[in-house]
Structure 1
Amino acid sequence: MSVIASDAVKGRMLKIKFGELIGRIGGLEAAASFCRVGKSTLARYASIVQADAECFAPIDVVRDLEALAGEPIVTATLCGMADGVFVAVPNSPPGTGDLLTMMSALSSEFNDTTRVVCDGLVDGNFCANDAAKLERELDDAIRVAVGMRALARSIHGGER
């Protein structure tokens, strides 16, 4: 796929995800009441017709609407396009007394991850279903690790 085609596909995906974000909020009218642009402009941001191909939502609009939706629908897509994964950092890290609890939880998550891999390999065929289970377990482990990271950062005074 050429770079131009790839960019067009990525742009279309962002517009589709922005449309999903609008839908999650309850539609154009609801979304317009929570951001700085009106319904017709929001509709253009989600439109996949050629005339609107270069019309994308500004980041502050995406930020405001994702906060309202409670899910980083567009941001997660952008992370994927950058070969990354979106992982939310807790707004307030747990207290230092929770460090051992979190370490135990992380150890448990890694044990669960190992179990899923072993279960998937029992029949000699690690299939798509096994991979989906593994991904869910890894997501859980990542969430616990990010919580621990936030705690460590809050202790040494680093930025979020």
Structure 2
Amino acid sequence: MQKQLSSYLKKHSEALVKDVGIEAAAALCGKSKATLGRYYSDDPDHAERFMPIDVVAALETAARFPHVTAALADIRGITLSHDGTRSNAGAGGVNSDVVALSQRFAMLMAEYNQSIEDGKISINEAKRLLTETLAIQKVLIDMKLHLEDEAV
């Protein structure tokens, strides 16, 4: 792994631990404070040591921001969208997801119909279409989670 990439991931690992707090992070993931420190240390002895994914998941659940996930997405050129008002364990179920999906799709089609009226889609119209597309994506993620719950 490149030194620059390694340093980038270690800085975000440190930000994650500091976001949660070192004491709370150690208790939450069952690692010692020293072990957590080694995950983001730039000491040559720890250059190849990185935070395991289960530790990242545990800490990001308690953190205010998914520091390591955002760093990994950034490395791949992916943009994440954080919506603090949503919860993956929301009320409802598959039936309410289907209703929400059909409503969002109808809104997307109405927006598209209005946008294409003059034969071209402007930048602002494209942004509104993107907003509707992202709303559909959120509904689909909730639906996927509800289906996974029912499949267990």
Question: TM-score normalized by structure 2?
Answer: 0.62
Cα distance, 1:47 vs structure 2: 2.2
Match of 1:102 in 2: 101
1:28–1:152 Cα change, 3 Å: closer
Number of residue pairs aligned between Structure 1 and Structure 2: 142
Counterparts of residues 51-90 of structure 1 (less than 5 Å)? 51-69=45-63, 71-79=65-73, 81=75, 90=88
Q: Does structure 2 conserve the Cα–Cα contact (< 8 Å) formed by 1:93 and 1:151? A: no
Separation in 2 of the partners of 1:21 and 1:52? Answer: 18
Separation in 2 of the partners of 1:56 and 1:63? Answer: 14
1:119–1:11 Cα change, 3 Å: same
- Runs of 5+ in structure 2 lacking a partner? none
Q: Does structure 1 conserve the Cα–Cα contact (< 8 Å) formed by 2:11 and 2:40? A: yes
Percent identity over the alignment is 25
Separation in 2 of the partners of 1:137 and 1:48? Answer: 43
Separation in 2 of the partners of 1:16 and 1:135? Answer: 32
Q: Does structure 1 conserve the Cα–Cα contact (< 8 Å) formed by 2:12 and 2:67? A: yes
Match of 1:40 in 2: 34
Q: Does structure 2 conserve the Cα–Cα contact (< 8 Å) formed by 1:16 and 1:48? A: no
Aligned: 1:13 with 2:16: no
Q: Does structure 1 conserve the Cα–Cα contact (< 8 Å) formed by 2:29 and 2:58? A: yes
Question: TM-score normalized by structure 1?
Answer: 0.60
Please provide the CA RMSD for this pair: 4.1
1:109–1:68 Cα change, 3 Å: farther
1:49-71 Cα shifts (integer Å, max 9, x gaps): 43422121122222221222265
| SS in structure 1 of the partner of residue 28 of structure 2 | coil
1:138–1:97 Cα change, 3 Å: closer
Separation in 2 of the partners of 1:47 and 1:136? Answer: 40
- Runs of 5+ in structure 1 lacking a partner? none
